């Protein structure tokens, strides 16, 4: 492809965002992130977790909205496995933009559970970073 036709990172909302990071969505709009992922040829994964009441609900919604394989074990270790190894083995990956919107913040999904969830995505960002593949995850709390 002619380099002049390739979208450059500087033309996207991701300008200035490290390539392997998990951060609050703050000033970013979901549509802008999706458009940036598309322009860069990256995978875009989106999950709205507003309806989740528990860890199991969060995992069920992620499985459904990320279209994880049927054998997904619906625990945090299995989530990490699904976000890394099988994807890596499926061939070269261009990069990822992930949005976790409205992560629940209540007694059944407390601060510890939220941090565990975000740690899975931090570990996933590290995994892809080790392979020089951009993985950016943006999140918001309900």
Cross-strand pairs, 101:
48
pLDDT score, position 102: 97
Give the mean pLDDT of the chain: 90
Q: Can you give the residue range of the structural domain that contains 88?
A: 19-141
Question: What's the CATH number where 102 sits?
Answer: 3.30.370.10
pLDDT mean over 27-35: 94
Q: How many domains, in total, are found in the chain? A: 1
pLDDT mean over 37-48: 96
Is residue 14 a part of any domain in this protein?
no
CA distance linking residue 44 with residue 121, whole number of Å: 14
Report the percentage of the chain scoring pLDDT > 90: 75
- Give 45-62 pLDDT, tens digit per residue: 999 999 999 999 999 999
Buried-exposed string 121-137: b where 16+ CB fall within 10 A, e elsewhere: bbebbebbeeeebbbbb
pLDDT at 130 over 50: yes
């Amino acid at each position: 492809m002619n380099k002049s036709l390739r979208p450059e990172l500087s033309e996207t909302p991701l300008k200035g965002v490290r390539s392997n990071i998990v951060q609050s969505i703050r000033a970013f709009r979901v549509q802008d992130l999706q458009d940036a992922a598309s322009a860069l040829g990256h995978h875009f994964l989106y999950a709205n977790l507003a309806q989740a009441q528990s860890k199991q609900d969060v995992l069920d919604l992620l499985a459904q909205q990320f279209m994880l394989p049927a054998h997904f074990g619906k625990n945090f270790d299995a989530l990490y496995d699904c976000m890394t190894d099988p994807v890596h083995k499926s061939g070269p990956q261009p990069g990822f933009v992930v949005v976790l919107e409205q992560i629940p913040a209540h007694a059944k999904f407390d601060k510890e559970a939220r941090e565990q969830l975000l740690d899975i995505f931090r570990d996933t960002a590290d995994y892809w970073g080790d392979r020089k593949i951009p993985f950016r995850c943006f999140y918001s709390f309900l």
